[in-house]
Amino acid sequence: MLQRAAAVGVGAAGLSAVLLTHLHSDHIAELGDVLITSWVTNFAADPAPLPIIGPPGTAEVVEATLKAFGHDIGYRIAHHADLTTPPPIEVHEYTAGPAWDRDGVTIRVAPTDHRPVTPTIGFRIESDGASVVLAGDTVPCDSLDQLAAGADALVHTVIRKDIVTQIPQQRVKDICDYHSSVQEAAATANRAGVGTLVMTHYVPAIGPGQEEQWRALAATEFSGRIEVGNDLHRVEVHPRR
Give the active site residue among 26, 46, 82, 103. 26
Catalytic residue at 174? no
Edge-to-edge order in the sheet of strand 18-19: 18-19, 50-54, 89-93
With CA atoms as reference, report the closest residue to 119 among 151, 141, 100: 141
Helix axis angle for 70-79 and 31-40, nearest 10°, is: 10
Report H helices in 133-210: 142-148, 161-164, 170-173, 182-192
- Give the C-alpha separation, 198 to 147, whole Å: 16
Q: Which amino acid is at 18?
A: V
The 10 Å Cβ neighbour count of residue 238 is: 12
Active site residues: 26
